[in-house]
Amino acid sequence: MGNILAIAHKELRAYFASPIAWVILGLFALLFGYFFYAFLVLFVRQSMQMGQMGMGGQTVNVNLYMIRPLLQNATVIMLFVLPMITMRTYSEEKRSGTMELLLTSPVTDLQIIVGKFIGALALYAAMLLVTAIYVSLLFVYGNPEWRPVLTGYLGLLLLGGCFISVGLLVSSMTRNQIVAGMATFGVFLMLWVISWIADFSGPTTRTVVLYLSITEHFDDFAKGIIDTKHLVYYLSFITFGLFLTAKAVDSERWRG
Amino acid sequence: MIEVQHLTKRYARITAVEDVTFRVERGEILGFLGPNGAGKTTTMRILTGFMPASEGSAVVAGFDVFDQPLEAKRRTGYLPESPPLYPDMTVREYLDFVARIKGVPARERRARVDGAMERTRVADVRDRHCGKLSKGYRQRVGLAQAILHNPEVLILDEPTAGLDPKQIIETRELIKSMAGDHTIILSTHILPEVSQTCQRVIIINKGRVVAVDSPANLTRRLRGSEMLYVQIDAAGADARSALERLPGVTRVAETDRHDGGVGFEIETSRGHDIRRELARVVVNQGWGLLELRSSGMSLEQIFLHLTTEEKPAEVQHG
């Protein structure tokens, strides 16, 4: 455990010692802020329309019309940002030769992988924390339900975990950061759009494709539902990603 | 302390190391000598557990590097060819991180880091970023990293590469001062380094061990014959034939002549030390002895001799 934390700590320090973390956090805050603004304007307009239509007594649900689409759209930004976080994890160590330090130290491959995973996840959590500032404004001026917000964040965290595990795997296979980043982005996008064909395919394909889609599993979290089906999907996805990374590192070692 | 047996490493197309066997005793400094691409780094990478061998075994500090890698790694300090530094970390942060993953207990960490910085003389750059250090400092921070957890075995891949002459001497002194309680393997292609630092040398070429011995023995053993240089005064034309008559002498060549002194190079067959007889002859003949020394092959010559030797063409089957 000490080794895992040492590596996670080192990873996090590397993000924050270089401009990576600051650029990512800053840009993310900016983009998310714009999303927030856009949805807020839309929401206010919808509320006013409802009022004019004589339903003054009723208010539009903040959770349904504001927070849920906001969190769902936050995943779009993740799609672009997470490859930038994960692309350096292994590629940089390989290129700079520090991989030799890690692999000749008394730590296991798994400890290194989990440490890196936690490090990246912590940066990702910091990003989510930035969004929480915006969302908490809604609690100040409105009266949303907090439970769906929490499940929504849990969903985001799990979704990001999946992306990070894929990112680690891709990064462990190349010395080139650009290649790692681009390939990770490709895989993410594929996992994203895989459900698009669902509507035009037969029942079997439809089921498979929907199950594979990384975003389909997020919707229930955004609605405030924690379904074990989705938990199992995300957790097994992450485990499998980390397992494949371990295999990739090990096979690299054998090939030399 | 280190026992390597029949170590072989094959990559997809080439065999980097083939059937390498050697052992290093506790407290010994072993030099690993060979041209670039001879298999030095590969052997070291196997010993440190960076990569597995295709065949053979390696035991470091009593633990097989393949079966008990963590135990072996705990007892090994390794300086790779290029120091494994994180450019964005300061020297202190970096060494602190290394101490953590090497398993140095939390309360000793600070003292160990300070001690290692002291010994490798990098304390004055402790708060500089590793990426901004000069080559000499980078190399020494790499060395600090290797000795940090006080390992029983030190494996140093070209520890003096990129250092200036003063730093080279300092580093050699540091390495020598660590022998005794540490067992050290260092690789180099700088030959004087081996004769100055190491008690034993392995010369490796094309993945095979071509010689193992002490630098002095190696020089002696690999000379097919012994060589002497003698310069005498007032010698006549018969000097050469007088020298040739000495027992064991196979060849006498006049090399230089100035101010009445004549220099001869005398080759004798192996095991014949003719210095006493030679001196007696010179005195009996009434010549003046100006100089007498043994002129062995330098390590350079031996190295070249061993690594550029033409091999008989092998018969290819199939």
Q: Does residue B101 sit in the same domain as residue B229?
A: no
pLDDT for A4 beyond 60: yes
Written as one letter, the residue type at B33 is L
| Closest residue in chain A to residue B9, using alpha carbons only | A256
How far is C-alpha A122 from the chain's CA centre?
Answer: 11
A103 with B49: Cβ contact below 8 A: yes
Task: Look at residue B306 and tell me if it is in a domain.
Answer: no
- B203 interfaces chain A, CB cutoff of 8 Å: no
Please report, for residues A53, B137, B138, B167, B251, the alpha-carbon distance to residue B85 in angstroms, rounded to integers and kept in the order given.
Answer: 67, 11, 8, 19, 56
Distance separating alpha carbons of residues A19 and A88, to the nearest angstrom:
13
How far is C-alpha B4 from the chain's CA centre?
Answer: 17
- A20 interfaces chain B, CB cutoff of 8 Å: no
Among A74-83, B240-249, B269-278, the least confident range = B269-278
Task: Look at residue B303 and tell me if it is in a domain.
Answer: no
Distance separating alpha carbons of residues A19 and A10, to the nearest angstrom:
15
Task: Look at residue B317 and tell me if it is in a domain.
Answer: no
pLDDT for A159 beyond 90: yes
- Binned at pLDDT 50, 70 and 90, residue B315 comes out as very low
Give the pLDDT mean for A234-241. 95
Quote the tokens at residue B33: 């000598």
Distance from CA of B85 to the nearest CA of A (A): 6
Q: Does residue B212 sit in the same domain as residue B125?
A: yes
A10 with B103: Cβ contact below 8 A: no
Domain limits for position B246: 224-295
Q: Note the pLDDT tens digit of each residue in B67-105.
A: 999 999 999 999 998 999 999 899 999 999 999 999 999
Q: Does residue B127 sit in the same domain as residue B234?
A: no
Give the pLDDT mean for B131-152. 92
- B101 interfaces chain A, CB cutoff of 8 Å: yes
Query: Which phi-psi region, left, alpha or beta, contains residue B256 (left: φ > 0; alpha: ψ -120 to 50)?
Result: beta
Quote the tokens at residue A97: 């030769």
Write out residues 57-76 of A within 8 Å (CB-CB) of B: none
Q: What are phi and psi of A59, to 5 degrees?
A: -110, 155
Q: Note the pLDDT tens digit of each residue in B4-22.
A: 999 999 988 888 999 999 9
Please report, for residues B103, B131, B132, B177, the alpha-carbon distance to residue B113 in angstroms, rounded to integers and kept in the order given.
Answer: 13, 19, 20, 18
| Domain count within chain B | 2
Q: Which of A147, A146, A127 is nearest to A136 (CA)?
A: A146
Q: Does residue B161 sit in the same domain as residue B61?
A: yes
Q: Note the pLDDT tens digit of each residue in A239-256.
A: 999 999 999 999 988 876
pLDDT for B316 beyond 60: no
Listed in sequence order, the residues at least 6 apart from B264 whose beta carbon sits closer than 8 Å to its beta carbon are: B229, B230, B231, B232, B239, B240, B243, B252, B253, B254, B255
Distance separating alpha carbons of residues A27 and A202, to the nearest angstrom:
41
| pLDDT above 70: percentage of residues in chain A | 97
CATH number at residue B288: 3.30.70.3190
Q: Does residue B175 sit in the same domain as residue B84?
A: yes
pLDDT for A55 beyond 70: no
Q: Does residue B236 sit in the same domain as residue B175?
A: no
Q: Note the pLDDT tens digit of each residue in B50-67.
A: 999 999 999 999 999 999
Q: Note the pLDDT tens digit of each residue in B265-297.
A: 887 776 677 888 888 888 888 888 888 887 665
Write out residues 110-169 of B within 8 Å (CB-CB) of A: 145
Q: The whole model's pTM is what?
A: 0.82
What's the angle, vertex CA B218, arms to CA B216 and CA B219, rounded to 5? 65
Q: How many CB atoms lie within 10 A of CB A128?
A: 18
Quote the tokens at residue A125: 């959590």
- Binned at pLDDT 50, 70 and 90, residue A6 comes out as very high
Q: Does residue B275 sit in the same domain as residue B168?
A: no
Look at residue B296 in the predicted model and tell me its pLDDT. 60
Q: Does residue B169 sit in the same domain as residue B196?
A: yes
Report the residue count for chain A.
256
Query: Environment class of residue B103 by beta-carbon count within 10 Å: exposed (0-12), middle (13-18) or buried (19+)?
Result: middle
Q: Are B49 and B69 spatial neighbours (Cβ–Cβ below 8 Å)?
A: yes
- Binned at pLDDT 50, 70 and 90, residue B37 comes out as confident
Give the pLDDT mean for B36-58. 91
pLDDT for B32 beyond 80: yes
Q: Does residue B7 sit in the same domain as residue B82?
A: yes
Distance from CA of A242 to the nearest CA of B (A): 20
CATH number at residue B82: 3.40.50.300
- Binned at pLDDT 50, 70 and 90, residue B317 comes out as very low
Q: Are B243 and B258 spatial neighbours (Cβ–Cβ below 8 Å)?
A: no
In chain A, domain spans: 2-255
Q: Does residue B20 sit in the same domain as residue B100?
A: yes
- Residue that terminates a domain, selected from B197, B220, B243: B220
What's the angle, vertex CA A222, arms to CA A219 and CA A225, rounded to 5? 85
Q: Does residue B247 sit in the same domain as residue B164?
A: no
Task: Look at residue B139 and tell me if it is in a domain.
Answer: yes
Please state the ipTM of this predicted complex.
Answer: 0.87
Query: Environment class of residue B41 by beta-carbon count within 10 Å: exposed (0-12), middle (13-18) or buried (19+)?
Result: buried
| Closest residue in chain B to residue A256, using alpha carbons only | B51
